[in-house]
Structure 1
Amino acid sequence: MDWTDVSQNWHAFVPRILTRWPELDGDDVDAVEGDRSALARLIAEAKPDDDALDADEEIGEWLEGEVPADVMTEEDVDNQRILASRSEMAADEDAYSQDGKFGDDDSPEPPVGVSEDDS
């Protein structure tokens, strides 16, 4: 990931940040508004053994991961992400095809308010 992507889509990344650093307060993270230094200070304050430099290194390590598909969608990289998801598909599944034969699309949905265990 690139910090520019994170800062430009800050509110979409807040849940991921809170998953990575659960000791942070959601309102405080929201208030950071994409400022990496401010996020590093928040992390350092929440972890008494860390300073802002350690926290910034943690942020750098977190940025080495892929941009989660549910966080950000851009037309120019959609096809790239679809093809990258190929590693999680069955060998004979086409990345661009409908997934009906691989899922439970043909299974009837239980009535509203009734779980499958109740039927």
Structure 2
Amino acid sequence: MKWHHIQENWAAFYEAIQDRWPEADEAELDEIDGDQRAFIKYIAELTEQEPGEAREEIVDWLRGELPSDVVMDPTHDSHSIALSAKYVNEGEDEYDDDARFGDDTEED
């Protein structure tokens, strides 16, 4: 995951941040507003580490899963749907319900 994903969806990461660093304060996170340097400094102070150590901890945290609020973002979804168009047969619309094409029916 790249930092710009976090910066663009900063509030969606609050829960994930507080899961990783339970002592993180939401008001402080509001002030950071996605600024990577400020976040590193904040985590360093919060965990009483050197900024380099805090940065490594954050990099490790970034390898985790995206919060569902980010994954389910309409912009992200629309982009994913548009990319899937190359797998849709001619005459089908990538935005149509799959059930219409008969591949989601239950076997009797």
* Partner of residue 77, structure 1: 80
RMSD over aligned CA atoms reads: 2.3
The TM-score normalised by the length of structure 2 is 0.64
Unaligned runs of 5+ in 1: 81-95, 102-119
Q: Which runs of 4+ in 1 moved over 6 A?
A: none
Superposition deviation, residue 41 in structure 1: 0.9
- If asked which structure has higher relative contact order (CA below 8 Å, sep 6+), I would say 2
The TM-score normalised by the length of structure 1 is 0.59
* Partner of residue 50, structure 2: 51
Counterparts of residues 5-20 of structure 1 (less than 5 Å): 5-20=5-20
Confirm or deny: 8 A CA contact 2:14 2:26 kept in the other structure: yes
* Partner of residue 37, structure 1: 37
Superposition deviation, residue 17 in structure 1: 1.0
Structure 1 pair 13/7, CA: closer, same or farther in 2 (3 Å)?
Answer: same
Alignment deviations for residues 8-62 of structure 1 (CA, whole Å, 9 cap, x no partner): 11111122111111121111011101111111111111112x1111111111111
Whichever residue aligns with residue 32 of structure 2, its letter is V
Alignment deviations for residues 43-88 of structure 1 (CA, whole Å, 9 cap, x no partner): 111112x1111111111111112323333421213699xxxxxxxx
Confirm or deny: 8 A CA contact 1:7 1:35 kept in the other structure: yes
Between structures 1 and 2, the one with greater helix share? 2
Confirm or deny: 8 A CA contact 1:14 1:29 kept in the other structure: yes
Unaligned runs of 5+ in 2: 84-97, 100-105
